[in-house]
Amino acid sequence: MAKREELAAAIRRCSLAVEKRIAEILPKQADDALSECLWYHLGAGGKMIRPALCVLTCEALGGEMESALDFAAAVELLHNALLVHDDIEDGDEMRRDQPALWVKYGIAHALNTGDYLLGAAYGAVLGTRGSAELKGKLITAFNDAFMRTVEGQALDIRFRADPAFTLEKYQRMVELKTGYYLAVGMVGGAMIAGASDEAIGRLWRFGTYAGPAFQVRDDVLDLTPGKGRGGKIGSDIEEGKASILYAHALTTASPDDRRRLVHIMSLPRKSTAPEDLRWVMALYQKCGTPDFARRYSQERLALAKAEIRALPLAKDELLTALTDYVIERRT
């Protein structure tokens, strides 16, 4: 098992290289509204876990960091495009401890900047050095991941406060919304390293296990002051978010409790009273919902780990260490 410091050094090495590549792809321009918007958002940083997963997967399967940098940059740019658009869609006003792009520059500039980040992401994929066949595989995987993520987002919006929401619907939504997008950087890194179709299949499956597991952990964290929203509890309930908690309680509570739950979830964000929040949290406890969600998350993380353990790793155990680290924390 690689030491924690070795892993931290590897993440730093990837971050610096990918940040440099992104700065080459999107050079800062003076007196340019688009560049100002791009760097307002990008300059606030990010954990750079996805590009690190891309580079370390490539290296662990026998490739070189340099050859994976364009794809790693593409994945980070896609991540940022989705954040910029999602913040508009969800009405989230803060991002990375500063006002979200749409709050600072208006919806028009923010939406358009998200589009540009998307274009830049596709451009970065196409910038990968290699055969036309490799590029074709990379761009197809990238586009598939983008479309599935957007499909999942459509379900997420659709299922808000939906009285007919179920665990099956949650599962479909969360796999689409989080799974492919988590996996695609690793899949691209593996393709660049010349990995087998079997290894690539395992990485896609890693994403569809781990992505939902993280999302569920996030859903549960909303019941505690630990979600980085300034100690706020129950934001997801105020938003009527289609969380695993809502899905589980809706399918286990009594008809009367279900009706009241749906009513509270469908209230506009600012009309949800503190006693409504308390009632929903008590209902979740009564239904055993947080325990159910924790078990669901743990089961999926074990499956995700197993996929990484089964990879034919060539170089070292940094990838295993990174996925373990990611699994312990959150992307």
Cα–Cα distances in Å, from 166 out to 157, 180, 225, 243? 15, 22, 26, 10
Shortest Å, Cβ 74 to a copy of itself: 11
Tell me whether residue 47 or residue 109 sits nearer to a copy of itself (CB atom).
109
- For residues 115-151, one letter each, b for 16 or more C-beta atoms within 10 angstroms of the residue's C-beta and e for the rest, the string is ebbbebbbebbebbeeeeebbebbbebbeebbebbee
CB 88 within 8 A of CB 110: yes
Tell me whether residue 57 or residue 67 sits nearer to a copy of itself (CB atom).
67
Shortest Å, Cβ 4 to a copy of itself: 38
Shortest Å, Cβ 213 to a copy of itself: 24
Tell me whether residue 118 or residue 301 sits nearer to a copy of itself (CB atom).
118
Rounded (5°) CA angle 150-252-215: 30
CB 281 within 8 A of CB 246: no
Tell me whether residue 85 or residue 202 sits nearer to a copy of itself (CB atom).
85
Shortest Å, Cβ 227 to a copy of itself: 21
Return d(Cα 35, Cα 232) in angstroms, integer.
34
Return d(Cα 164, Cα 174) in angstroms, integer.
16
Shortest Å, Cβ 165 to a copy of itself: 13
CB 171 within 8 A of CB 244: no
Amino acid at 57: T
Tell me whether residue 169 or residue 305 sits nearer to a copy of itself (CB atom).
169
Residue 99, H or E segment: strand 98-99
Which chain residues interact with a copy of itself by CB under 8 A? Answer: 33-34, 37, 85, 88-90, 107-109, 111-113, 115-116, 118-120, 122-123, 126, 131-133, 135-136, 139-140, 143-144, 146-147, 150-151, 153-155, 157-158
Shortest Å, Cβ 88 to a copy of itself: 6
Rg value, the chain, Cα? 20
Tell me whether residue 150 or residue 167 sits nearer to a copy of itself (CB atom).
150
